[in-house]
Amino acid sequence: MDGRPYFISVEEARAITFQTPPPLRVEEVPIESAVNRILARDLASKVNDPPFDNSAMDGFACRHDANATYPRTMDIVGTQAASGANENIEVMDGQAVRIMTGAPMPPGTDAILPVERCTVEGQHVVFTEAPKPHFVRRKGENLEAGAVALTKGMQLTPSRVGLCATMGHATVPVYQRLRVGIVSTGDELKSPGEPLKHGEIYESNSFGLAGLVEWSGHEPVRYPAVADTMGALRATLNEASADCDLILTSGGVSMGEFDYVRRVMEEEGDIHFWRMKIRPGSPPLFGLWNSTPLFGLPGNPVSSHVVFRMLVAPYLRHALGSDGPKEWTVRAKLCDAVKSTNDCVTLRRVTLTSTEEGMMAHQPRHQGSGNLESLASASGLTLLQPGQSGDVGEWIDVLVL
């Protein structure tokens, strides 16, 4: 490996990838299509939220009178709808205005009594108790005009997209989705739908990885599976590097004779590290092909997924400085033994169940790194650190899938 980092910890591997970020571009998008995008600049509110004092309840607005006694009969002098029509009703002591939720407080009023605590009798209303100032939502109490409520790097969740609108933004500056090329390699791979000959399997990694790229908020570009030859691989990598910001390959990075991704990267690319202390998924490499960052992910379907979550997803979040998509870890008690190692992080697939004692992690059956069903039916991955015990009864961190 010519002195290049080899078989390093997950932290070391991440640190190396962080030094070679993908190119970033900013675009302005309508908020209708902003969900899950990453904000590229801080966003200040253009207005006060709420923009005016208004009622939190359907009921009656009036002046709060500390000396009044209840029940108290008031004169109804008007109706205030949420649109703010009839806004200029001037309300005197002993008078009340029928008011709808969200409607501006009429001049002279400062308290609300909800409709269910009143009895209406023609042009009068009997208050059974005192009206409450806290049913008034004050101008700017949620957000003052000019306040920065969303900051650069935030992932625009549905509630944050709603907040963009509340703050008066019809469009928002976000990072362009990165184009992520996905190149699977292997002579044995056939597309689903085609007949299989003996020795062939269906190609699944590019579909799973494309899903992970979309989950990360970026744009997958799938290439047809590449045969195990230097020429075919070189041609596809050239095409992908011309067209994409980042390349993910799958397969061909182990020690085998036909592991051409490693070979072509060694001979014609630029490898920044090879192999990482993680199980499953130890073979990955990272480097540059024609100055495009490239992750060489393992071919085993579970491994490629796990390495994406542990290495590629943190790389993408770091590049954009983003806080999403969120990775959740929970503490869980192991209900089945997991074999740990002294040098690797062990990521076994577990099923999580919530009990009164806390979260329980079960590992229902044997797991191979080629068994995609065991990943599809799991809800978490054990984050067993090197040397940490995986005995039954241990409380460990689990990455939620």
Applying CB under 5 A, the residues found at the interface with Mg ion are 186, 251-252, 299
229 near ligand AMP, rule: CB under 6 A: no
Q: CA-CA distance, 298 to 15, in Å (whole number)? A: 20
Residue placing its CB nearer to ligand AMP in the complex, 298 or 380: 298
Nearest CA-CA partner of 176 in 19, 291, 292, 37: 37
Residues 6+ apart with CB under 8 A from 332: 350, 352, 358, 359, 360, 361, 380, 395, 396, 397, 398
299 near ligand AMP, rule: CB under 6 A: yes
CA angle at residue 315 from 313 to 320, to 5 degrees?
A: 100
Residues that bind ligand AMP (rule: CB under 6 A) add up to a total of 19
* Residue 189 binding partner per list Mg ion, ligand AMP, none, with a CB distance cut-off of 5 to 8 Å that depends on partner kind: ligand AMP
Q: CA-CA distance, 111 to 123, in Å (whole number)? A: 20
203 near ligand AMP, rule: CB under 6 A: yes
Residue placing its CB nearer to ligand AMP in the complex, 176 or 204: 204
Binding mask 347-376 for ligand AMP (x = CB under 6 A): -----------------------x------
Number of residue whose CB is nearest ligand AMP? 299
Binding-site member from 180, 189, 212, 381 for ligand AMP (CB under 6 A) = 189
Contact 144, 168 (CB under 8 A): no
Alpha carbons within 13 A on the beta-carbon side of 76:
19
Binding-site member from 250, 367, 374, 388 for ligand AMP (CB under 6 A) = 250
Burial class (CB in 10 A: 0-12, 13-18, 19+), 221: buried
Two tokens, residue 28: 């302005």
CB of 15 to ligand AMP, least distance (A): 25
Binding-site member from 142, 176, 204, 229 for ligand AMP (CB under 6 A) = 204
Residues that bind ligand AMP (CB under 6 A): 184, 186, 188-189, 201, 203-206, 250-252, 254, 256, 298-301, 370
